[in-house]
Homo-oligomer: A and B are copies of this chain.
Amino acid sequence: MKIIVEKEGQNMTRELSALQKARLGYKPKLPKVLRNGIKNLNLEYGVPTQAIADADDVQELFPNSYGKPMATFTSKHDAVPNKTTNVGVILSGGQAPGGHNVIAGLFDALKEANPDNKLFGFLCGPAGIIDGEYIEITGNLMDEYRNTGGFDIIGSGRTKLESEEQFMKTWNTCQNLNISAVVVVGGDDSNTNAALLAEFFLEKKAGIQVIGVPKTIDGDLKNDQIEISFGFDTATKTYAELIGNIERDANSAKKYWHFIKLMGRSASHVALECALQTHPNITLISEEVAQNKTSLSEIVDYMTNIVAERANRGKNFGVAVIPEGIIEFIPEMKSMISNLNDKLALCEDEADYMALSTKEEKREYLKNKLEAHNAEVFASLPESIQAQLLMDRDPHGNVQVSRIETEKLLVEMVQAKLTEMKKNGQYKGKFSSQTHFFGYEGRCAAPSNFDADYCYSLGYNAFALILFDVTGYLSSVKNLTKPADEWIAGGVPLTMLMNMEKRHGLMKPVIQKALVDINGPVFGELQKNREIWAYEDHYLFTGPIQYYGPSEVADAPTKTIQLERE
């Protein structure tokens, strides 16, 4: 319990910025149906649901929790059961703006239902509930974190809560604290595990509910019922602020190409949203690359042609937006990295390789290690990137894809191609570059009004679902492009989001990631404008997130949700 003391002591004496102080007083908006008090609700059920795919397999694995109906809150003036309900909450995985407000909504609903209810926060992610490390979230502590960014109230972690042994320990922790419901705030993996935990508790007749909350700045945890995961709004607006500022700089100095990599390994929603907010000259989308089986050299050609054509028009500057994960979507890179993971051991090989001085020797060496086509791909990369592929391995010897500086890789390859074109007289411009990677800059930003309201509602709604005794549900608040008044609150059965996928060679039930739909309206909007944005300068400057001021400035949701839902 040392942590509580240190935390409270720290915060009480801690200096706050003017904006922090002002935001602590912000009252997040709830859906109308949740505003009459936690005790004046009715939960209406729809028809039973099906898994998104592989229904039989998923059902077999979730015999107790499969196929539950959709659930929607309506107002009611009968009293709901007033039992004492202690709840545990876990923040799982990467931070997303608004996590503290999920806890605030949950806390307020829980205390409103019964002041004797307790909320326990497990420390540093799922490991906290497994090992029984927690703090009780008190009113004073909660008040210091309302509308703030970060997950620092209890910390987060990436331990996977998935084994029988971990479930048993979790059960034990819950029994010790008299916890009857666990709220898991996480992305697709964490919510998959929340579904497994719910099934486990049902099977054991433990009487412990599990409710998930859709979190991830990546925006890839969504479906018809979950319009967006929280944090996406704030993170993309923060990156868009920076991209817009850089565009303005590029267009003022007129001498640099800025290659900007944005966080998001599995899906390109962040890059796509930011592109729609800022209109860069080049936007790469991983899902498009995968669909078209675009090769690295085709990507480089695409970029180089835009650089060269802009130079023809007297513009030796521009901005390119690149999703972090793109390298894994390029077929030959994916194959080469996989081959490298399998075949090339750490350390000795690397030293041997780096000692070779000519390109021919290096290529020859790799031919003996990698399959021929993979060796060719490897040899075609700039040396600095080869070194990253060889050196930055994780403890299992795998290439750490997130450490590969894709933005620099592309700069070097575009530069090389331009040099070649210059020799042939096809290019007469100048190419100077700056590279950027934005991710950590936005994951813990203070939530926008949208995320502050949405997260508070998700948390409040999670407790309402607990009161109605459901389990294995994801807290759902929808109709988000409308004012909060018109938002619809309810629950979505987690098994409904699942299908079977191969993981480490075995078929596993998992929540399907929502990738960018290249036939959908959001990508369509990029596609429609891409050519124009490439050559003319339609840069858009969204500026920093505003918490005050005209509603269209302070409250507008993302382009993605507007295009998908309107």
Tell whether A412 is near chain B: CB-to-CB under 8 Å. no
Question: Using Cβ atoms and an 8 Å threshold, which residues of chain B touch A441?
Answer: 242, 245-246, 436
A370 close to chain B: CB less than 8 A: no
- What is the distance, in angstroms, from A91's C-beta to the closest C-beta of chain B? 8
The verdict on A19 contacting B542 (CB below 8 Å), with A155-B252, A252-B444, A258-B440 known, is yes
- CB contact under 8 A between A245 and B552, given known A15-B538, A543-B19, A544-B545: no
C-alpha spacing A148/B148, complex, angstroms: 28
Is the beta-carbon distance between B538 and A14 smaller than 8 angstroms? yes
Q: Is A122's CB within 8 Å of the partner chain B?
A: no
Q: Please, which residue of chain B has its CB at the minimum distance from the CB of A441?
A: B242
- Contact between B245 and A16 (Cβ–Cβ < 8 Å)? no
Residue contact B152 to A251, C-beta cutoff 8 Å: yes
Pairwise interchain contact B251-A17, C-beta atoms closer than 8 A: no
**Pairwise interchain contact A544-B148, C-beta atoms closer than 8 A:** no
- Shortest distance from the beta carbon of A157 to any chain B beta carbon, whole Å: 8
Q: Is A150 an interface residue (CB 8 A)?
A: yes
Cβ of A553 and Cβ of B254 under 8 Å apart? Answer: no
Stoichiometry, as copies per complex, reads 2
Known: A150-B252, A248-B444, A440-B249. A550 touches B95 (CB 8 A): no
Please report the C-alpha to C-alpha distance between residue A94 and residue B252 in the assembled complex, in whole angstroms: 9
> A66-118: which have CB < 8 Å to B?
94-95
Q: How far is the CA of A16 from the CA of B539 in the complex (A)?
A: 9
* A465 to B: closest C-beta gap in Å: 26
A93: nearest chain-B partner, CB-CB: B253
A238-B248 contact in complex given A19-B543, A543-B19, A553-B22, C-beta closer than 8 Å: no
Cβ of A541 within 8 Å of any chain B Cβ, yes or no, is yes
Is A169 at the interface (CB under 8 A from chain B)? no
- A357 neighbours in B (Cβ, 8 Å): 355
The answer to whether B124 touches A254 (Cβ under 8 A) is yes
Q: Given A19-B553, A152-B248, decide whether A434 and B440 contact each other with a Cβ distance below 8 A.
A: yes
Which residues does chain B contribute within 8 Å of A556, judged by CB atoms?
Answer: 18
Question: Is there an interface contact between A252 and B152, defined as CB atoms closer than 8 Å?
Answer: yes
Neighbouring B residues of A549 by C-beta, 8 Å: 22, 547-549
A546 on the interface (CB 8 Å rule)? yes
Q: Is there a chain B Cβ closer than 8 Å to A446's Cβ?
A: yes
The docked-state distance in angstroms from the alpha carbon of A18 to that of B550 is 9
Chain B residues in 8 Å Cβ range of A407: none
Q: How far is the CB of A338 from chain B (nearest CB, A)?
A: 25
Q: With A17-B542, A18-B556 known to touch, is A245 a contact of B547 (CB < 8 Å)?
A: no
A77 vs chain B, min Cβ distance (A): 38
Q: Point out the residue from B14, B124, B434, B548 that lies within 8 Å of A546, measured CB to CB.
A: B548
Chain A 523-566, CB-CB to B under 8 Å as 1, else 0, gives: 00000000000001110111111111110111010000000000
Q: 8 Å CB contacts to B: which residues of A13-60?
A: 14-20, 22-23
In the bound complex, residues from chain B placing their C-beta under 8 Å from that of A543 are 17, 19-20, 23, 445-446, 545, 547
* A238 partner, pick from B18, B245, B277, beta carbons under 8 A: B245
- In the complex, are the beta carbons of B17 and A541 less than 8 A apart? yes
Q: Does A231 contact B (CB under 8 A)?
A: no
Say yes or no: is A140 at the interface (Cβ < 8 Å to chain B): no
Residue from A151, A252, A277, A541 having most chain B Cβ neighbours under 10 A: A252
Given the interface contacts A20-B541, A543-B19, does A436 sit within 8 Å of B444 by beta carbon?
Answer: no
The distance in angstroms between the C-alpha atoms of A246 and B151, with both chains bound, is: 12
A440/B436 in contact, CB under 8 A: yes
Given the complex of chains A and B, what is the CA–CA distance between A277 and B15 in angstroms?
A: 11
A126 at the interface (CB under 8 A from B): no
- Chain B nearest CB from A200 CB (Å) reads 28
Assess whether A241 is interfacial by the CB under 8 Å rule: yes
* CA distance in complex: A537, B547 (Å): 26
Contact B550 A238 (CB under 8 A): no
| Residue of chain B at shortest CB distance from A279 | B15
Bound CA–CA A251/B440 (angstroms): 12
| Residue of B whose beta carbon sits closest to that of A448 | B544
Q: Can you list 28 residue pairs at the A/B interface with Cβ under 8 Å?
A: A10-B537, A15-B538, A16-B540, A17-B277, A17-B542, A17-B543, A18-B550, A18-B552, A19-B543, A22-B552, A95-B252, A95-B253, A148-B248, A152-B248, A152-B252, A156-B253, A241-B445, A245-B442, A245-B445, A246-B441, A248-B445, A249-B443, A434-B440, A446-B544, A543-B545, A543-B547, A546-B547, A547-B549
Q: Top 3 nearest A-B pairs by Cβ distance?
A: A544-B544, A548-B549, A150-B248
| A17-B277, A150-B252 known, 17 other contacts, Cβ within 8 Å | A10-B537, A17-B540, A94-B253, A95-B248, A148-B248, A150-B249, A150-B251, A151-B253, A238-B245, A242-B242, A246-B440, A248-B444, A248-B445, A249-B443, A446-B541, A546-B548, A548-B553
